[in-house]
Amino acid sequence: MQFSGQILKMCTQNGKPIQYYLNLGNDLIMMNQLIGKTLTIQHIGYQCLCCDSDEKIYRMGFCKKCFFESPYASDTIIRPELSTAHLGIGERDLEVEKSIQLHPHIVYLAYTGDVKVGVTRESQIPTRWIDQGATFALPIARTDNRYEAGMIEVALKEHLADKTNWRKMLEDDFEDDLDLKDFRDKIREYFPEDFQNFYSMEHEMERLDYPYEAPEKIVSFTLEKNPEISGTLTGIKGQYLCFDGGRFLNVRAHEGYVIELEADTTE
Ligand SMILES: [Zn+2]
Distance 90 CA to ligand 1 centre (A): 21
Q: What's the gap in Å between 63 CA and the centre of ligand 1?
A: 4
Q: Could you tell me the distance, in angstroms and rounded to a whole number, from the CA of residue 48 to the centre of ligand 1?
A: 5
Mean pLDDT of 133-142: 98
* Chain Cα centroid distance, residue 243: 19
CA distance 57 to 84: 28
- Average pLDDT over every residue of 192-204: 95
Cβ contact 2:262 at 8 Å: yes
Round the average pLDDT of the chain to a whole number and report it: 96
Interval between CA 197 and ligand 1 midpoint (Å): 41
Give CA–CA dist 187/199, Å, rounded: 10
User: Do residue 49 and residue 127 come from a single domain?
Assistant: no
- Going from the Cα of 47 to the center of ligand 1, the distance in angstroms, rounded, reads 8
Query: Tens digits of per-residue pLDDT, 57-113?
Result: 999 999 999 999 999 999 898 899 999 999 999 999 999 999 999 999 999 999 999
- Predicted local confidence at residue 26, as pLDDT: 87
Residue 54 sits in the same domain as residue 93:
no
Q: Which residues are CB-neighbours of 202 under 8 A, at least 6 positions away?
A: none
* Domain count along the chain: 2
Looking at residues 107-126, what average pLDDT do you find?
A: 97
Rg for the chain, CA atoms, rounded: 19
Q: Are residues 92 and 180 in the same domain?
A: yes
Number of CB atoms found within 10 A of residue 188's CB: 14
76 CA from centroid of ligand 1 (Å): 19
Residue 137's beta-bridge partner residues? 110, 206
Q: How far is CA 28 from the centre of its chain?
A: 18
- What is the model's pLDDT at position 267? 63
CA of 211 to the centre of ligand 1 (A): 34
Identify the band that residue 265 occupies on the pLDDT scale cut at 50, 70 and 90.
confident
pLDDT tens-digit readout, 234-251: 999 999 999 999 999 999
**Could you tell me the distance, in angstroms and rounded to a whole number, from the CA of residue 9 to the centre of ligand 1?**
17
Query: Are 20 and 63 found together in one domain?
Result: yes
Buried b (16+ CB within 10 A) or exposed e, 233-246: bbbbbbbbbbbeeb
Please give the residue range of the domain that contains residue 112.
Answer: 69-207
